Amino acid sequence: MEHEYETAYIKAALIRSHHLNPHISFSVFLRAISAFSGREYKYDPAQRVDTVIYREEKKFMTSRSSKWQRGRRIVSY
């Protein structure tokens, strides 16, 4: 992954495609991804993005920032 916070986009995509329980905490998801990939991902940046995706959904869906536009593409495809 190019950025540490892309794990939040992956979590959102898995939830949207019904491959992951929507009630899973981000910390549990990140630990599973880290164990599976054998790489340690940073928690804080990804947790902030996960919060925006789920608690500030309007900002995530309407922002013109390249970071959020890229995130929407990853989640939708």
pLDDT tens for 59-70 read 888 888 888 888
In a domain, 50, yes or no: yes
Residue 17 lies in a domain: yes
Residue 54, in any domain of the structure: yes
Q: 29 is in which domain, residue-wise?
A: 6-76
Does residue 50 contact residue 56 with C-beta atoms inside 8 Å? no
Of all residues in the chain, the percent with pLDDT exceeding 90 is: 45
Q: Does residue 26 form part of some domain?
A: yes
Does any domain span residue 69?
Answer: yes
Contact at 8 Å (CB) between 71 and 3?
no
Question: Model pTM?
Answer: 0.82
Q: And the tokens for 68?
A: 């959020």
Is 63 among the domain residues?
Answer: yes
CA 61, 21, 29 angle in degrees (round to 5)?
85
1 domain-assigned: no
Is a pLDDT exceeding 70 seen at residue 35?
yes
**Domain assignment of residue 33, yes or no:** yes
